[in-house]
Structure 1
Amino acid sequence: MRGIEIRQYAPALATGCAGTALGIFEQEPYGGLFMAVAALVLIKGRRTAACVALFLIVGCALIPFNRASSFTNPVAFLLSGLGALWLVSIWRQRTEVDQSLVDARLIVESMPGLGWATDDKGNFVYVNPSVVDYVGKSTEEFNTTGRTGLEAVHPEDSDRVTQAWLTSMRTGTSFESVHRIRRADGDYNWFHAYGRPHLNERGDIQGWYGTTIDVDEKQRAEQRLAESERQLRTLIDTMPVMIWCGSPAGEPIYQNPKLLEYLGATTEQIRDNNFGVVHAGDMAGFQSTWAECVKQKTPLSLICRLRFNDGTYRWNRVTAAPLLSDTGEIIQWYGTNVDIQELHQTQEELRENANRLRLMLDTLPASVWCASPDGQPTYFNEPLMRYSGVSLEELRGANGSGFAPMISRLVHPADAPILKNRFEQSFKSGEPIALKYRHRLADGGYHLVDCRARVLRDCHGRLFQWYGVIVDVEEEAQAQAQLQKAQHHLELATRAASLAELSASIAHEINQPLVAVVTNSSATEKWLEAVPPNLERAKKAARNSAEAANDAAEVITRVKALFRQSGGAKSPGNLNEVIEEACVLLRERIAASRCDLRVELQADLPQVVFDRGLILQVLVNIIQNAMDAMASLNGSVRLLVIRSMRSGGDVVVDVRDSGTGLHDTEKIFEPFYTTKHNGMGIGLSICRSIVGAHEGRLWATPAEPFGTVFCFSLPGSGGEP
């Protein structure tokens, strides 16, 4: 039986024992009841207590009664009864307390934390099962260590926790500590320990009661957060960017070392005079803009001059953004300053250079334009806008995209399709643009212009920007037309003189045989009129007339042969070689006529038996006719295409031009029919005769959308190409 329990029952035991002793002295049995009650209350074992109580009652019953005394009986009875009732009352109170302790222990043992209790010396008197499960030790094992269980605390935290525990025990204040405790498997978790002292009525510490809550996840999260904050602060303090923070009202509360070093000021100086580092010329604008941003809770972005640590002012870009709460209130401002002094100077220089360049472009006697890689116009200089009578904005507002609005509004309808195709091809491939077309003027008229453009590429070879120039060549074209007209008249005169000379030569050659025919005919007539007629002489004169007539026919045959160039030898060959030779012969004239020549030759053509010289004459004549048909296009694109191909057993050659076309594709092959001012009308007729002599065919068809295609075919020889 513990001493504390004896002390609780001491008054009741003293009273009952006095009554019992008096009863025994007086041979009274009343003390037996008290002794039985005391046995039931104080003996823990219920069976043992019942046996002892029964024994005492029987023993007391055997004591002989003494009824002589009249004073002792009531006193012994009262003392024994009072002691028994007192014991029962204390026992009932003790039972209620024990039940409360049982309930409290059940609550403590059901708690998720580690519950514990110590005596006034700090020795553990109780640990809940959670402690035993976590640490793997019971109360007795804790107390045997000599350190009140602190050996389970992490070595790095042990001294701190010991000092806090001893301080609490010495001062009687509450104990609180966050430290690591070793699990049964050797790992450590963070716990928050909290204990309070239990005091008696006199204020003396009777013991300590506390709990230890697992805060490992929270502590590790706080450690990670603290580490992140440390790294962030280190990053902010070491990064080469000027960073600052402000209060919700816009007052400065933090500047990183880079910013303080840049400004040559301290945090206190900036806090006392925030705008003192701003240039006087920029201060008013800065203050009003910053106040408006704080009021509207919108980000700040401006450029101003700030005082450098050497006293000079440098251009800075100041940006800031507010951190807002869930309710939309400003929590804090975060901002950065970036020194853009060199950038600002460079931009000013670029701006000045751009102005000078724009002034130069606007004063050039040429129309300059720029376009994006996909062909969207981005710039027209002033001369071009005055020349065309439109602005860049007007063209951008028109229907379409890219250069289509410009072409539809500023290019002659006849030249627009070819110009559009060429521009689209160049915008896709990056090929330079060089062509002439008729440009609409501000007064509604059209002038011939020469348009040239090249593309600028970036370091990766991608298209970056198109730059073009348009030069008015109307006067040059008119002068060239006058020159061509004069050359045409000169050529006509030369051809007329040549034709007159040829006619005189032919007349001279034929005149002699005809004179002989006339003379011999007259002689024949005279010889026949003679009496008698001289037949022999008449026959001879007739024969002479016939010979003279034959001589005249021979002259005509030779002239015809001269025009037909007949009589050459034929041999197998490849028509592609003749086409290439014709292109070489006419190379200079093709270049002078500014035709865009495209040759498309099929590689596996069969051989053809032909007179190389005559077929070359045919090709040259057809190509020259094609160039003549495009000579009057006044700068439009002149496309000349020569192709060869197999068609069944024949070889077909076609020559296509982009001229104005023909109204009658058969009449042009008639002798002396021509559509040219200086033509004789016999070239195509001779060409058809030459092709026909090779068992071939020559014809013409209209081309789409405009122009003419001349084709001739020759039968293949069946040989390998």
Structure 2
Amino acid sequence: MFIERRRTAATAALLLIAGCAVILFIYEPRTASLTRPFAFLLSALGAFWLVNIWRKQADLHHNLVDARLIVESMPGLGWATDAQGNFVYINPSVVDYVGKSTDEFNAIGRTGLEAVHPDDADRVTEAWLTSMRTGTPFESVHRIRRADGDYSWFHAYGRPHRNQRGEIERWYGTTIDVDEKQKAQHRLADSERQLQILIDTMPVMIWCAAPTGEPIYQNPKLLEYLGASFEEIRDNNFGVVHSDDMADFQAVWADCVKQKTPLSIICRLRFNDGTYRWNRVTAAPLLGENGEIIQWYGTNVDIEELHQTQEELRSNAERLRLMLDTLPAFVWCASPDGQPTYFNEPLMRYSGVTLEELRGANGSGFAPMISSLVHPADAPVLRDRFEQSFRSGEPIALKYRHRLADGGYHLVDCRAKVLRDSQSRLFQWYGVIVDVEDETQAQTQLQKAQHQLELATRAASLSELSASIAHEISQPLVAVLTNSLATERWLEATPPNFERARNSARKAAEAANDASEVISRIKALFRQSGAAKSPGNLNGVIEEACILLRERIAASKCDLRTDLQRDLPDAVIDKGLMLQVLVNLIQNAMDAMATMNGAARLLEIRSKREDGNIVVHVRDSGIGLNDTEKIFEPFYTTKNNGMGIGLSVCRSIVRAHEGTLWAAPSEPSGTIFSFSLPMAEGEPDVQ
């Protein structure tokens, strides 16, 4: 429209000049000689002026065409309105995006605001009216509906064009698509909001500080914990720190700020109830590209319960250490592979070495300890046993001679077990060493004394028995001898006195019968036959024998196992004699295993009902017997100091009970002594 007005003005000026030239030619004939050249010059000037105007108009038109192409080709939405806000121009991008022309916008009467999102319409309308009223530039970010109904974000700019009088003639503007940017900003804002919510609600105390350390933010959890406002903390940052910890805290914090290194310190902070609780305060600096601190980010973690637990653990560990150092035993620990990790003070004083010396220069497990502290004769066995246990996790139990601090050796009992974790993996070895030298010597002396007492008892018993036998049998024998001599004298008399000889012979025979009765009574004494038998349960006799021999069984390191049938029927027995049989069989079993070094010593006693009889088995894991029948012969023995009458007496006692005693080899080693007795009458024969 502006271009059309310029064209109209140029045409009117051209017509005016042409009219003036014609009038001069027609109405001034008398002065034609003068006016015609002037008219010609005027016409030429007019023509030049008209050509110049036309050229300028052509240039202007060309520039306007270029401007129009630029406006119509620009990616944004270009528009222009009059002073009242009616659209006078919209570029094709507007038509393509909104789907309406200028006339359609003006026909609605809302200057295109119906395309604005309803949530943004009032705000945009207010901004547009304010700009038209005040003449200030218009700017707004809002959503505009596309022809298909979807909305996108746009950034609208509008500037007023004024005439020479300062009045607004036009508004020119552009609306740029900022949908992606706006959505990104919204996403960023949402993320920041969610992050802020997270920081404000998470159960962790978070804070930020300026590069120099001044607080600039504390989340609500921290403010609630401290019972203070942000302003109070900002004004007195270290006021919440316990007075005993404040100096260290300030020094460490100042050093971290200076060195630009992370902060990590444990101190007491004032809780909201006025008490102080232990906290772990950590912070890290955010550094810029130039290495300068931009901001500090930190957290506080309440570790009061953890600190108390650690203090209790330390206290318990100290008490445990004191206990281990005062125990009358030597305690040691080792890693799963056998590397020593702990020796209590008594063990190191006892051995005269330190833990570091025991570990060895290269930390080579127990090898240095065995080489230094174990008797050379015991070292190979100890080394093999330790290595086997460290591989398999089997408990350690053995005795060896341990070197003392003064260079001597004492016999010690070493025992250890391994602790396993939840996955049954070897975790730690715990062991104890007990000096048994005095006990061993005392046991040796006791055994010697018992042996001597046994020999003396046997000698005394044999002497007493011999005297008793001699006394009992001497009188009948004297009578036999006397009557025999008398018979001889009466027969040699002249004449022979047969009557008196017969009397003497009869008396000699009676004395011989008396001697025979004495011998029978002695046999009965050994066989213990008589009326002392009564129904009884052999399980009770077995248990009593085990109780009587309990100390000797423990001293012999035998593993006693009993398997007694619960409903075992009674048998007619002399309890004392059967107790003697069981004690003898158990002692023989222990003696058979006494010379086994390092091997398992198994002593097993079983009772059961079998084929109408009661059977008892006593099994050992000793070296076994070559002849299982000859051992029952009187005076046959396999022991160095045995008399060879024990098993013979036991068989006699069992036979006196109408039973049987026998022996058989045991697999894989050892011997089984068994005896069977008939059940008492009236007992049901039920298997």
Q: C-alpha distance in 2, partners of 1:479/1:15?
A: 151
Distance 1:320 1:76, change over 3 A: closer
Secondary structure of 1:586's counterpart equals helix
Q: C-alpha distance in 1, partners of 2:567/2:242?
A: 84
Note the C-alpha offset of 1:590.
1.5
Q: Is the 8 A contact 1:450 1:471 kept in 2?
A: yes
Note the C-alpha offset of 1:344.
6.9
Q: Is the 8 A contact 2:480 2:509 kept in 1?
A: yes
Residue 218 of structure 1 aligns to which amino acid in structure 2? A
Residue 262 of structure 2 aligns to which amino acid in structure 1? P
Q: How does 1:223-262 map to 2 (within 5 A)?
A: 223-232=189-198, 234-235=200-201, 241=205, 243-255=206-218, 258=222, 262=226
Alignment counterpart, residue 653 of structure 1, candidates 609, 617, 623: 617
Distance 1:307 1:609, change over 3 A: closer
Q: C-alpha distance in 1, partners of 2:340/2:105?
A: 89
Q: Which residue of 2 aligns with 1:218?
A: 184
Q: Which residue of 1 aligns with 2:11?
A: 12
Q: C-alpha distance in 2, partners of 1:259/1:144?
A: 60
Q: Is the 8 A contact 2:209 2:217 kept in 1?
A: yes
Q: How does 1:49-128 map to 2 (within 5 A)?
A: 89=55, 93=59, 96-97=62-63, 99-100=65-66, 103-104=69-70, 107-108=73-74, 111=75, 114-127=77-90
Q: Does 1:299 align with 2:262?
A: yes
Note the C-alpha offset of 1:11.
0.8
Decide which moves more: 554-563 or 79-88: 79-88
Q: How does 1:384-463 map to 2 (within 5 A)?
A: 384-392=347-355, 413=378, 441-445=404-408, 447=410
Note the C-alpha offset of 1:84.
9.4
Residue 495 of structure 1 aligns to which amino acid in structure 2? R
Q: Is the 8 A contact 2:72 2:78 kept in 1?
A: no
Decide which moves more: 519-528 or 586-595: 519-528
Q: Does 1:599 align with 2:540?
A: no
Residue 671 of structure 2 aligns to which amino acid in structure 1? F
Decide which moves more: 274-283 or 201-210: 274-283
Q: C-alpha distance in 2, partners of 1:222/1:690?
A: 104
Q: C-alpha distance in 2, partners of 1:335/1:580?
A: 77
Note the C-alpha offset of 1:208.
1.4
Distance 1:554 1:330, change over 3 A: farther
Q: Which residue of 1 aligns with 2:547?
A: 587
Unaligned runs of 5+ in 1: 28-68
Q: Does 1:506 align with 2:469?
A: yes
Secondary structure of 2:670's counterpart equals strand
Distance 1:622 1:191, change over 3 A: farther
Q: Does 1:698 align with 2:663?
A: yes
Tell me the alpha carbon deviations over residues 218-254 of structure 1, each in whole angstroms, 9 at most, x when there is no partner. 1321331331244246348xx684x432334545444
Alignment counterpart, residue 366 of structure 1, candidates 328, 332, 335: 328
Q: Which residue of 1 aligns with 2:670?
A: 709
Q: Does 1:208 align with 2:169?
A: no
Decide which moves more: 523-532 or 164-173: 523-532
Residue 619 of structure 2 aligns to which amino acid in structure 1? V
Q: C-alpha distance in 2, partners of 1:696/1:309?
A: 88
Residue 710 of structure 1 aligns to which amino acid in structure 2? T
Q: How does 1:492-503 map to 2 (within 5 A)?
A: 492-503=455-466
Residue 582 of structure 1 aligns to which amino acid in structure 2? I
Identity of counterpart residues, as a percentage?
57
Q: C-alpha distance in 2, partners of 1:263/1:631?
A: 78
Residue 698 of structure 1 aligns to which amino acid in structure 2? A
Q: C-alpha distance in 2, partners of 1:326/1:621?
A: 95
Q: Is the 8 A contact 2:78 2:175 kept in 1?
A: yes
Distance 1:193 1:716, change over 3 A: farther
Decide which moves more: 127-136 or 372-381: 372-381
Q: C-alpha distance in 2, partners of 1:606/1:283?
A: 81
Residue 226 of structure 1 aligns to which amino acid in structure 2? E
Tell me the alpha carbon deviations over residues 617-667 of structure 1, each in whole angstroms, 9 at most, x when there is no partner. 544322133456789999x99965315599x99989342368xx7898879
Q: Which residue of 1 aligns with 2:282?
A: 319
Number of positions where the alignment pairs a residue of Structure 1 with one of Structure 2: 647
Residue 617 of structure 2 aligns to which amino acid in structure 1? V
Q: C-alpha distance in 1, partners of 2:627/2:14?
A: 155
Secondary structure of 2:672's counterpart equals strand
Note the C-alpha offset of 1:210.
0.8
Q: C-alpha distance in 2, partners of 1:585/1:716?
A: 18
Tell me the alpha carbon deviations over residues 275-312 of structure 1, each in whole angstroms, 9 at most, x when there is no partner. 78878876665455445534554322224577899999
Q: Which residue of 2 aligns with 1:146?
A: 109
Q: Is the 8 A contact 2:71 2:78 kept in 1?
A: no
Note the C-alpha offset of 1:516.
5.4
Note the C-alpha offset of 1:507.
3.0
Residue 170 of structure 2 aligns to which amino acid in structure 1? Q
Per the normalisation by structure 2, the TM-score is: 0.67
